[in-house]
Amino acid sequence: MLSQRRERRDRLTVLHLAQPVEGGVAGVVTDLAGAQVREGVRVVVACPPEGGLSRRVAAAGAELEHWAAGRELGPQVAAETQRAYQLVRRVRPDVVHAHSAKAGLAARLALRGRVPTVYQPHAWSFEAVEGATAGLARAWERWAARWTDRVLCVSEAERRAGEQAGIDAAWTVVPNGVDLSSFAVQADSSGNEDGAAQRAAARAALPALRAVPADAPLVVCVGRLCQQKGQQTLLKAWPRITAHVPGARLVLVGDGPDRRLLGEKAPDQVLFAGASDQVGHWYTAADLAVLPSRWEGMALTPLEAMACGRPVIVTDVGGARECLPPGQEDVCLVPPEDPESLAAAITRLLRDADMRAYLGEAARKHVRADFDVRQTAASVLRLYRELLGTPASASSEQAGR
């Protein structure tokens, strides 16, 4: 039985349970799994079989379990919870790390505190809904906290939102991190980090940009095409931008349920690139990245863009202020769902190449100093060991410094 004390094992076993298989949550799970495998942890990732997450975590060396689960609530939750319970019985993890709302629901209903459980919201579910549904979501999170050994937030703003919702939990805040080897301005053959040369090369290598003039101002928005990410606000802002910056192009990189709706509203200057495993090329090709989210915990894509030396425009939602370099708030932060403010901020930067270069370089240094995914992974591993009362390894201590 789960409640029975298991024999101690020298090798830590962690089960990551995740329903999203694309986007930021999948990226975080992939990075954590890879880092933990390199630390000698037995890592098992349970997720739906479709999408890219299963392929990426398997390539990172993690064991893979298929967990059939959908995004929506409904009668299927009972079966999803039972499948999560059976997974835990089979894997026998030391720690279960549940990512996002559906996994957090199924894992905590299945375990009810019988295995050390970490829940990572990746933005609260009650921020995505309104009225009675939001009230029910808050009530569930308050109740489920009793079955959660630690709620892991990616920003202080996310933690404060949980506290304001009445969730009485044991909290840990570990900001998201970026794989700096995958997102970086690469030096050319002479050893120079020439942003203009890299931008031109990236544009030439992207088939979707072949019909776009090489000198066209380019804005990139990477994210799932859905209400949360706010692309509708960006499309409303775009005619105001092109009125001042003729020839500017916008590329939406990603896929999702709003693809058809956004396509119906998109001006001719907007391109849909679809989902991509090589989003670093898009950041490098861009003059500017933007993410007009309606809510977040701490979005991963602005950190990725900044690691590539690109300035970002983000909305003032959870974690945005914490991810920006100090002093960039007045230029790069705008209110959510405000097309006029968003258009003004984007237009200002598109018309000022010197400011873009200055902000982009400051952003690159900021992310390299404070948002290295190795630091994130080491902090999460220390959290597991703290819950289990086991010492950290020398290598993980070194990585966290």
- Indicate if 213 and 77 belong to the same structural domain: no
Decide if 184 is inside a domain.
no
In the predicted model, is pLDDT for residue 395 greater than 80?
Answer: no
Phi, psi of 181 (to 5 degrees): -80, -20
CB contact at 8 A, 297 and 121: yes
**pLDDT at residue 186, rounded to an integer:** 53
- Amino acid letter, 21: V
Q: How many helices (H) and strands (E) does the chain have?
A: 17, 13
In the predicted model, is pLDDT for residue 1 greater than 70?
Answer: no
C-alpha distances in angstroms, 310 versus 72, 136, 262, 320, 357?
35, 40, 25, 16, 8
- Indicate if 165 and 272 belong to the same structural domain: no
In the predicted model, is pLDDT for residue 134 greater than 60?
Answer: yes
- Residue 287's CATH number: 3.40.50.2000
Confidence band of 346 (pLDDT split at 50, 70, 90): very high
Helix (H, G, I), strand (E, B) or coil at 272: strand
Mean pLDDT of 321-328: 95
- Indicate if 69 and 145 belong to the same structural domain: yes
Share of the chain above pLDDT 90, in %: 78
In the predicted model, is pLDDT for residue 305 greater than 50?
Answer: yes
Contacts of 81 (CB under 8 A, 6+ apart): 105, 106, 109, 110
Decide if 140 is inside a domain.
yes
Using CA atoms, how far apart are residues 165 and 152, in angstroms rounded to an integer?
16
Contacts of 182 (CB under 8 A, 6+ apart): 280
Decide if 187 is inside a domain.
no
**pLDDT at residue 188, rounded to an integer:** 43
- Indicate if 202 and 301 belong to the same structural domain: yes
Confidence band of 196 (pLDDT split at 50, 70, 90): confident
166-194 pLDDT, tens digit per residue, is 999 999 999 999 999 888 765 444 444 55
Average pLDDT, the chain: 90
Confidence band of 391 (pLDDT split at 50, 70, 90): low
Decide if 8 is inside a domain.
no
In the predicted model, is pLDDT for residue 133 greater than 70?
Answer: yes
Dihedral (CA of 350, 351, 357, 362) sign? negative
Number of domains in the chain: 2
**pLDDT at residue 199, rounded to an integer:** 85
In the predicted model, is pLDDT for residue 360 greater than 90?
Answer: yes
Tokens of residue 72, six digits:
């929506």
Q: What DSSP line would sit under 172-188, residue for residue?
A: EE----B-TTTSSPPP-
Highest mean pLDDT among 200-204, 377-381, 397-401: 377-381
Decide if 188 is inside a domain.
no
- Indicate if 201 and 98 belong to the same structural domain: no
CB contact at 8 A, 332 and 311: yes
CB contact at 8 A, 106 and 77: yes
Confidence band of 4 (pLDDT split at 50, 70, 90): very low
For residue 229, the enclosing domain spans 195-370
Residues pairing with 315 in the sheet: 334
Decide if 1 is inside a domain.
no
93-123 pLDDT, tens digit per residue, is 999 999 999 999 999 999 999 999 999 999 9
**pLDDT at residue 195, rounded to an integer:** 67
Residues pairing with 15 in the sheet: 44, 96
- Indicate if 354 and 379 belong to the same structural domain: no
Decide if 186 is inside a domain.
no
206-259 pLDDT, tens digit per residue, is 988 988 998 999 999 999 999 999 999 999 999 999 999 999 999 999 999 999
- Indicate if 314 and 362 belong to the same structural domain: yes
- Indicate if 270 and 228 belong to the same structural domain: yes
**pLDDT at residue 128, rounded to an integer:** 85
| pTM listed for this prediction | 0.88
- Indicate if 120 and 139 belong to the same structural domain: yes
**pLDDT at residue 373, rounded to an integer:** 93
- Indicate if 254 and 354 belong to the same structural domain: yes
- Indicate if 65 and 103 belong to the same structural domain: yes
In the predicted model, is pLDDT for residue 75 greater than 90?
Answer: no
**pLDDT at residue 155, rounded to an integer:** 96
Decide if 118 is inside a domain.
yes
**pLDDT at residue 137, rounded to an integer:** 93
Helix (H, G, I), strand (E, B) or coil at 90: helix
- Indicate if 206 and 326 belong to the same structural domain: yes
